[in-house]
Structure 1
Amino acid sequence: MQLTAQQLKQAVGCTDRTAERWIEPISEACRLYSISTPRRMAAFLAQVGHESAGLAALVEGLNYSLENLTAVCKRAAAGSRWRSLLSRVKELARNSVGLGNAAYANRLGNGDEASGDGYRFRGRGPIQNTGRANYAGMRDTLRAKGVRDVPDFEKQPEMLEQPKWGALAAAAFWDTRNLNPLADAGRFDDITERVNGGQNGAADRRARYAKALKALGA
């Protein structure tokens, strides 16, 4: 189907200006990765809308207040990286660089805290690609698909904030996790599991999905 700017605005929950800026990149990315039916687009745009707050937050926000960071760490699963940071909340509150480096050190292809990789490769783009390995993997995936002039996201991580590369990366992420069949079957919560690794923000994601289905006539 041919997505319009008005449908994108309604499905993602963005402004007119944002919809105009993103309509072509998202349409191109959806065509390339066969996100081509109303049900597929609705599921994709609902997840993108949640992860990026309506295409308004294209870089992971790590500037937590002490109260919010404490709550996040307490909610995290026992033994998880975020739970382990509970003893450091006073140090890491309102410290985006320190928190990013601590939260993502020695995982997702990142080096240790001192390397700065955690903050450098924090979540970016409409689907919040995270970690050095995923930035490099996205570069390689797009190049293997035949996309021309793909930047080296390891050297230029900020390029994932641009509509063209952000949209392509989000669609490629969708494809590598084989989410089109789940969208066809209406298994939206299973999609959330593969996107998020859990059900964080499930209520908002479902609400966005319902709006996207309506906007696209699915």
Structure 2
Amino acid sequence: MIDAIPMQRRLGVAPDNIVGPGTLTALFARFGAKVEVAQELGLAAAVHFRTYGILDAPRRLIHFMGQCGHESGSFRYMEENASGADYEGRMSLGNTQPGDGKRYKGRGPIQLTGRSNYRADGATLGIDLERHPEIVAMPSLGLLTSCLYWSRTGLNALADGDDGVAIGRSINRGNPRATKPANGEAKRIAFTARVRALVLP
């Protein structure tokens, strides 16, 4: 369980020891989200973080926020800035049709990418993300797909072990044991350290 009172005091939130929408909104805002985006993320996180076990332990919250904060440019970008053309024809992502690279570029805090991933997440969530990929750029839905990825790839267990390097390589390289560092590995670690300093007593 998370002792939220120290974090709430640092965030300037009434210390009730409940990690709810208000506390989570303040947390996203502290790490860069604009007011409207922070509110949407906070509301969604109050539901999805519990569903996916991210609020079950402080390290899970710390690593999720650290990795997603890096991936999304401090929660400012819910859609990849690049056009997605680099993903064109990438069979490993299921991009089999012309235009798939741009259509299924990275969206959400963890950057859901590729037709096959949009299809699979849509099937799990009961939302036709393959037909409507652009909706993953909505902060609340993007957060949901990020939580789903986090759960599906076993990142809570890596967070419990405090293995930020493996988490970053799982997200960016698709393999927690990849020998090549994740893009921005040092920045991921630094962002996670900032979250840790705010969350832990």
TM range, smaller chain: 0.7 to 0.9
CA distance in 2, matches of 1:141, 1:171: 12
Percentage identity across paired residues of the two chains = 34
Match of 2:69 in 1: 49
CA distance in 1, matches of 2:88, 2:152: 22
Partner secondary structure for residue 106 of structure 2: coil
Match of 1:154 in 2: 130
Shift of 1:102: 4.6
Q: Which runs of 5+ in 2 are unaligned?
A: 3-18, 174-180
Correspondent of 1:130 among 113, 122, 135: 113
Shift of 1:142: 2.2
Label 1:110 to 1:199 Cα distance change in 2 as closer, same or farther (>3 A).
same
Correspondent of 2:39 among 20, 33, 47: 20
CA distance in 2, matches of 1:215, 1:24: 20
8 Å CA contact 1:7, 1:216 repeated in 2:
no
Shift of 1:184: 0.7
8 Å CA contact 1:47, 1:205 repeated in 2:
yes
Match of 1:184 in 2: 160
Correspondent of 1:206 among 185, 189, 197: 189
Instruction: State TM-score, norm by structure 2.
Output: 0.79
8 Å CA contact 1:7, 1:215 repeated in 2:
no
Match of 1:35 in 2: 54
Instruction: State TM-score, norm by structure 1.
Output: 0.73
Structure showing greater relative contact order (alpha-carbon pairs closer than 8 Å, 6 or more residues apart): 1
2:94 alignment partner AA: G
Q: Which runs of 5+ in 1 are unaligned?
A: 63-95, 144-150
Correspondent of 1:105 among 89, 106, 122: 89
CA distance in 1, matches of 2:43, 2:182: 30
CA distance in 1, matches of 2:32, 2:66: 9
Show structure 1 runs of 4+ deviating over 6 A. Answer: none
Aligned pair count reads: 172
- Asked if 1:59 is matched to 2:76, the reply is no
CA distance in 2, matches of 1:60, 1:16: 20
CA distance in 1, matches of 2:140, 2:78: 13
Partner secondary structure for residue 43 of structure 2: helix
Q: Deviations over 1:22-56 (max 9, x none)?
A: 10112211111111122101100111111111221
Q: CA RMSD in A?
A: 1.7
- Which structure has greater helix proportion? 1
8 Å CA contact 1:6, 1:16 repeated in 2:
no
